[in-house]
């Protein structure tokens, strides 16, 4: 079992095996749109030479958030940390750093 936390202390219980979950997180730019198309419209790397920054456009199931720009600040074998640097998510929520 794996957990996802944010700096506000929210924990989400992930029912997938940690290795499978981690593989899909690493492939999230392509996989999230396929797995949850109504939640993610696109995840793009504005500068392909810099995979640490990505722009997310959320789908119709995301009523409160339509876009965000994220900067991956840590990407190790079992830990991913990203900080939201732009988008309406910053006006809706006080949390801007997520750790997986």
pLDDT-based confidence at 66, cuts 50/70/90? Answer: very high
Backbone dihedral region for residue 87 (phi beyond 0: left; psi -120 to 50: alpha; all else: beta): left
pLDDT digits (tens, 9 = 90+) for 9-61: 556 677 888 788 878 877 888 888 888 899 999 999 888 788 889 999 999 99
Spatial contact of 66 and 86, defined as CB atoms under 8 Å apart: no
- Of 14 and 88, which is predicted with more confidence? 88
pLDDT the model gives residue 58: 92
């Amino acid at each position: 079992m794996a957990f996802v936390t944010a700096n506000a202390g929210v924990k989400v219980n992930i029912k997938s095996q940690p290795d499978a979950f981690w593989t899909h997180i690493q492939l999230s730019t392509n996989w999230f749109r396929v797995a949850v198309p109504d939640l993610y419209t696109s995840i793009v790397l504005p500068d392909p030479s810099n995979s640490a920054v990505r722009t997310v456009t959320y789908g119709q199931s995301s009523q409160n958030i339509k876009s965000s720009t994220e900067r991956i600040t840590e990407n190790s074998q079992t830990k991913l940390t990203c900080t939201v640097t732009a988008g309406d998510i910053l006006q809706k929520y006080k949390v801007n750093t997520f750790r997986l």
